[in-house]
Amino acid sequence: MSTDTAAPLVLVSNRGPVTFEDDGSMSRGTGGLVTALTGLASHRDAVWIASAMTPADAKRAQEAGGRPIDIRTPTGGEYQVKLVASDAEAYDGFYNIVANPMLWFIQHYLWDLSNAPDIRRHEIDAFDYGYRVVNEDLARAVIEEIDGREHPVVMVHDYHFYLLPALVRAARPDVFLHHFVHIPWTQSDAWRVLPNRLREEVFRGILANDIVGFHTRSYRRNFLQCCEDLMGLEVDHEAGVVRYEDREVWVRAYPLPIDARATLQVARSARVRQFETELLRRRRDHLILRVDRADLSKNVLRGFSAFDLFLEQHPEFAEKVTFVAQLMPSRTDVPEYAEYLERIEALVAVVNHRHGTPDWMPIQLKLRDDLEEAVAAYKHYDVLLVNAMFDGMNLVAKEGPLVNERGGVSILSENTGAHEELGEFALSVNPFDIQELADAIHSALTMGEGRRAERLDGLKAIVTERDPGDWIDEQLADIRKKAGVDLGPPVG
């Protein structure tokens, strides 16, 4: 259903809401973000432009002859997806060299200043002939989509498309551009590792937006400071406004909530119950859980080292506690990620060898992405470990407490976006302090029932306050305020 009076809307993200398989079938992305944006897209005259991520996506895009593909939502709504297939080599440079690890590392303070990765010709070429090319490809698709239409609104997602807004603005100065960055925005010195020309292009690109959104006030603050320090721009920190080329860029914080209703529905499914039965059959007295992508920013190795230390310092817990780590392999074509997975497996072997017994494997490593299996474990953990070094938001920190039924305690890194909202009811930790992590595991496992329940109730109340529809509506309200354009009725 589209609203005739509403402004035309284009959404842009690297990973789209659907993926096509070789047999022509289609699978839908999961998670609050996809749900929220699908809700937005299907209630408006919207097209979602995304990269063709697989050969089957590219084939489907070719069959569509560059036209958008009609998608029906499970609830009977409709929207359109346009998949853009870039040159394979350009896409490789875009995704595997520039977006990850280069920008990802800068934006999670993962850049090892004394060591690799260096920026040489190879990386600069990947920026010029990969990152820029894919940005140009999607920008072209956006420009085509809004051609001849009045008051278009374009909502861009994430660090893959910092150059796109300037390209679209150059072709259509009247466009309204809103860009949400899902990962942290680091302090200005972290950006100084990017060669000056590249850095300037990134900032000129993102400053072509009318509104730039982040998950937290602290990323908003860092972004404003960067504009002052690195670009010499006039910034109103209080109001969150950057003045750039006779325009005002609004910088805002919109923390992403989870889709509590959908997660609770998954928690009641038969498949989750099957996993629960299996989990309960094998469970020891205590269960520690982590669920993450196998990403360096998640700090998986320090989590296992802390567990190792905890077992060493508290031998009374031997055979009584299991640490289940469900990790989804990610970006494995990037050497740093492939190597990280190897280091994870090696450390798990060491800890299990050091403390395990013939009947007890202290760490159970599950290298897979299975939402139902994760949700089953969410219901029964005693401790949820979220110890990311830096993390844009971290939705596991919200989903776990929502469905937990055991008074589970959250150990939460103070460097996650979620900490701004949940810190009060979690055991906050400095993710680099392994002793503090080990102590937090001990405190969580020995905490009295009353205090555990109080903390969990506090977390449940916060994570059910807003939903992804509200998150979208907060952004639409700002678009309406700044541009005066109507994007139709609220989503939430």
Contacts to ligand F6P by CB under 6 A: 15, 158, 182-183, 330-331, 392
61 versus 441: smaller Cβ distance to ligand F6P: 61
- For every residue of 303-362, DSSP letters joined together read HHHHHHHHHHH-GGGTTTEEEEEEEE---TTSHHHHHHHHHHHHHHHHHHHHH-BTTB-S
Question: Which residues on neighbouring strands pair with residue 386, listed in sequence order?
Answer: 412
Residue 168 CB, nearest approach to ligand F6P (Å): 20
Alpha carbon separation from 407 to 286, 321, 422, 459, 486 (Å, rounded): 12, 16, 16, 11, 44
* DSSP summary character for residue 492: -
Residue 393 CB, nearest approach to ligand F6P (Å): 8
161 versus 381: smaller Cβ distance to ligand F6P: 161
CA distance 225 to 235: 8
Distance of CA 214 to the CA centre of its chain: 11
Residue 162 CB, nearest approach to ligand F6P (Å): 13
15 versus 199: smaller Cβ distance to ligand F6P: 15
99 versus 146: smaller Cβ distance to ligand F6P: 99
Burial class (CB in 10 A: 0-12, 13-18, 19+), 480: middle
Residue 411 CB, nearest approach to ligand F6P (Å): 21
Residue 248 CB, nearest approach to ligand F6P (Å): 27
Q: Quickly list H helices, 25-181.
A: 32-42, 55-63, 88-92, 104-106, 121-126, 132-146, 164-171
Q: In this structure, how many other beta carbons lie within 10 angstroms of the beta carbon of residue 1?
A: 11
Residue nearest to ligand F6P (CB): 182
CA distance 220 to 234: 15
Dihedral sign, CA of 93, 189, 220, 484?
Answer: negative
132 versus 331: smaller Cβ distance to ligand F6P: 331
293 versus 406: smaller Cβ distance to ligand F6P: 293
Residue 104 CB, nearest approach to ligand F6P (Å): 8
Residue 426 CB, nearest approach to ligand F6P (Å): 20
Hunting for tokens 């999961």 — which residue is that? 30
Residue 331 CB, nearest approach to ligand F6P (Å): 6
Supply 357's token pair.
């017994």
CA distance 241 to 251: 6
Residue 182 CB, nearest approach to ligand F6P (Å): 4
Contacts of 267 (CB under 8 A, 6+ apart): 375, 378, 379, 403
228 versus 336: smaller Cβ distance to ligand F6P: 336
Question: In what side-by-side order are the strands of the sheet with 69-72?
Answer: 69-72, 78-84, 46-51, 9-13, 153-157, 176-180, 211-214, 247-253, 241-244, 234-236
394 versus 410: smaller Cβ distance to ligand F6P: 394
- For every residue of 400-450, DSSP letters joined together read HHHH--S-PEEEEETTBTHHHHHGGGSEEE-TT-HHHHHHHHHHHHH--HH
Residue 15 CB, nearest approach to ligand F6P (Å): 4
CA distance 474 to 486: 14
Residue 234 CB, nearest approach to ligand F6P (Å): 30
179 versus 355: smaller Cβ distance to ligand F6P: 179
29 versus 492: smaller Cβ distance to ligand F6P: 29
Strands 363-366 and 286-293: unpaired
Residue 4 CB, nearest approach to ligand F6P (Å): 32
**Phi, psi of 487, deg, nearest 5:** -110, 25
181 versus 402: smaller Cβ distance to ligand F6P: 181
- 393 neighbors 416 (Cβ within 8 angstroms): yes
Residue type, 51: S
159 versus 275: smaller Cβ distance to ligand F6P: 159
